[in-house]
Amino acid sequence: MKAYHYDNLPGDQRQPHESQTPVTAADLAALGVLYYHMPSLDAVNELAAARGYLHRDEITVSPAALGDAYEAKVRSFFDEHLHEDEEIRYVRGGRGYFDVRDRGGRWVRIALEKDDLIILPAGIYHRFTTDETNFIQAMRLFKDEPKWTPLNRSEYLDANPHRKEYVSRFLV
């Protein structure tokens, strides 16, 4: 895992956009974002049991897996959004980026690759993209029945209870 402030320069979202301003795992944890390097599935299983993740599936995001829908899907993942549940991703292969907002509203880019696991808290605004290789395979873990419902950023989400809880825990 490598994290840094996003440079906000024009260009393909799949490029690194590295600003040379690093962000530490402790900085991410202060935002509620947890990172783990997990070189074995046993370690993932232990974390899943400890945190109550009962369900899982796997997704491959690539032109080969998604066909003609790939470009549109990757663009939609890059729309700023939140979820009402934790988002847990364990990278099984390939690479990608999760971007989250810091306390000042700046984007922090988190580069993930094989054996990286990230937990984003419910209510955090974020976005995702593959890198320039256009391939990532990830295990998605869920506490309840698998679901993935993005709520794109809008003013009405300020009143969302999951967003309010996130703000009160991590942004004040």
Nearest to 144 by CA among 53, 8, 57: 53
Q: How far apart are CA 111 and CA 67, in angstroms?
A: 24
Buried b (16+ CB within 10 A) or exposed e, 106-133: ebbbbbbeebbbbbbbbbbbbbbbbbee
Q: Could you give phi then psi for residue 166, rounded to 5 degrees?
A: -60, -50
Whether residue 37 is annotated as binding a ligand: the answer is no
Inter-residue contact 108 to 3 (CB < 8 Å): yes
Q: How far apart are CA 4 and CA 18, in angstroms?
A: 7
Whether residue 5 is annotated as binding a ligand: the answer is no
Whether residue 17 is annotated as binding a ligand: the answer is no
Q: How far apart are CA 90 and CA 137, in angstroms?
A: 9
Whether residue 87 is annotated as binding a ligand: the answer is yes
For the annotated binding site for Fe(2+), the residues are 81, 83, 87, 126
List, as residue ranges, the binding site: 81, 83, 87, 126
Residue ranges of the binding site for Ni(2+): 81, 83, 87, 126
